[in-house]
Structure 1
Amino acid sequence: MTMLKYFYDNDLVRIYDKTPTNWREAINVASENLKEKNIITDEYVREVIKNVETNGAYIVITPGVVMPHALATGQGVLGTGIGFAKFSEPVSFEDGNPDKQGKLFFTLAAKDETQHLENIQNLMTLLMTDGMIDALSDIETLADFVQVMGQFENTPAEQRGENDG
């Protein structure tokens, strides 16, 4: 199962037409889908926010893409999962630095370090797919998400950068 299908099949896709006023609110909103599924608690969300306050905007993994997460052994993790949230406008994590803002949020939670690393690896594979970040950035509805999912599901593996060579 591809990551896009995983998000869709597990009801972990959220598309917002309103953008949060700051990064703390964005992390809270982007974490709602995992909280609804009892994968994380508010305690985990507080831990993620505390980590950003302490370590800076390390969760902005590339311009436009944010990966909120805390330690796999952290408090408030009830299960393993990744939630996807898309905001209409980028949220800034560092004033005046466009490289430290994003509107695609992939919130990670894992019960152990192995699952945490697998989540990150699967997410990186998804994001390295040619055109994926732009396609997800352009969606406005769940129907758009389904269309992107279909478009990339039907792309030969070699065009997605998944060749064995």
Structure 2
Amino acid sequence: MLSNWLQPENIQLTESVGHWQEAIRQAAAPLLAQQAITPDYLEAIFRSHAQLGPYYVLAPGLAMPHARPEEGALKNGLSLLRINQGVSFDSAENDPVYVVILLSAVSGEEHIRMIGELAGLFSDDFRLQQLLSATTLSALTAAVSDPSLEKTS
């Protein structure tokens, strides 16, 4: 469940940021403070962006930057930053980005588990729209962790 990795103290809301790198730094701040990632982890994300472009901008308004476990992931964790005014990540199809979810996984297996949980959120149109349009911390928290929003089938 996402709430195991995305703690309430790792969810942030800001009006604006000046640049996509600032968005990633701000999103990473809780994970850095908890020593879940090292500064090298951020540098690896920036290097990948320079080499491959913004491949981690997954959908309109949504980015999920991450690096390989050996590049500075010390603990499993997620952090989320909602940017009210959005920011360009140089992703022609998906800019501006309003939600940055930074992922830290200590192994490939954990990475796959976390991606699977996030895919459930991203593929639920209602929850994804709730996440992208949230303007308060409580709305953000509800979008990612409210069990009443879980589909039963």
Q: Which TM-score band (shorter chain)?
A: 0.7 to 0.9
Q: 1:147: how far off? A: 4.5
For 2:82, the aligned partner's letter is K
1:106 lines up with 2:94 in the alignment: no
For 2:85, the aligned partner's letter is E
1:140 lines up with 2:147 in the alignment: no
For 1:122, the aligned partner's letter is E
Give the match for residue 7 of structure 1: 6
Distance 1:121 1:101 in 2: 24
Tell me if structure 2 keeps the 8 A contact 1:12–1:34: yes
Tell me if structure 2 keeps the 8 A contact 1:63–1:99: yes
Evaluate the alpha carbon distance shift between residue 92 and residue 149 of structure 1 in structure 2; reply closer, same or farther with a 3 A threshold.
Answer: closer
Per-residue CA distance 1:45-85 (angstroms, 9 max, x = gap): 111111111100101011111001011222x2211111111
Q: Radius of gyration: which is bigger?
A: 1
TM-score, normalised via structure 2 length: 0.88
Tell me if structure 2 keeps the 8 A contact 1:73–1:113: no
Among 107, 123, 148, the alignment partner of 1:154 is 148
Distance 2:102 2:3 in 1: 14
Tell me if structure 1 keeps the 8 A contact 2:41–2:67: yes
Runs of at least 5 residues in structure 2 that lack an aligned partner in the other structure: none
Tell me if structure 2 keeps the 8 A contact 1:94–1:100: yes
Runs of at least 5 residues in structure 1 that lack an aligned partner in the other structure: none
Taking only aligned residues, the RMSD between alpha carbons, in angstroms, comes to 2.1
- Runs of 4+ more than 6 Å apart: none
Q: 1:5: how far off? A: 6.9
TM-score, normalised via structure 1 length: 0.82
Evaluate the alpha carbon distance shift between residue 4 and residue 132 of structure 1 in structure 2; reply closer, same or farther with a 3 A threshold.
Answer: farther
Aligned residues: percent identity? Answer: 22
Tell me if structure 2 keeps the 8 A contact 1:41–1:77: yes
Q: 1:30: how far off? A: 1.1
1:47 lines up with 2:47 in the alignment: no
Distance 1:26 1:146 in 2: 19
Tell me if structure 2 keeps the 8 A contact 1:57–1:100: no
Evaluate the alpha carbon distance shift between residue 102 and residue 84 of structure 1 in structure 2; reply closer, same or farther with a 3 A threshold.
Answer: same
Evaluate the alpha carbon distance shift between residue 154 and residue 113 of structure 1 in structure 2; reply closer, same or farther with a 3 A threshold.
Answer: same
- The total of aligned residue pairs comes to 153
SS at match of 1:157: coil
1:117 lines up with 2:115 in the alignment: no
Q: 1:146: how far off? A: 4.2
